[in-house]
Amino acid sequence: MRLRFYDLRLSQKQFSKRFGFGLGALRDLEQGRGCPSMAARTLIEAIRLDPDLVARAAEEAKCWVKQ
């Protein structure tokens, strides 16, 4: 599965941090290991459609964990 971090000019590490993916999971997806869940596929499609919106949502979601 080709992910958009190349198109967005982000490293895998930057992409995982910006969008809330685990780096290991991201590498597994990129190398075709395992089958991504429906939630992961939906998130990847949302990133393709509007990466800035998804980045803002991921940042807001981090606040839920801290509270």
Asked if residue 19 is part of any domain, the answer here is yes
Q: Which tokens is 32 given?
A: 């075709």
pLDDT tens digits for 24-40? 988 888 888 888 889 98
Asked if residue 4 is part of any domain, the answer here is no
Q: Which tokens is 18 given?
A: 């910006």
Number of domains the chain contains? 1
pTM higher than 0.75, yes or no?
yes
C-beta separation of 34 from 24 below 8 A = no
Q: Which tokens is 25 given?
A: 């999971």
> CATH number for the domain including 54?
1.10.260
Domain that holds residue 24: 12-66
Asked if residue 36 is part of any domain, the answer here is yes
pLDDT tens digits for 42-51? 998 999 899 9
- Say which residue the tokens 């910006």 belong to: 18
Q: What is the mean pLDDT of the chain?
A: 85
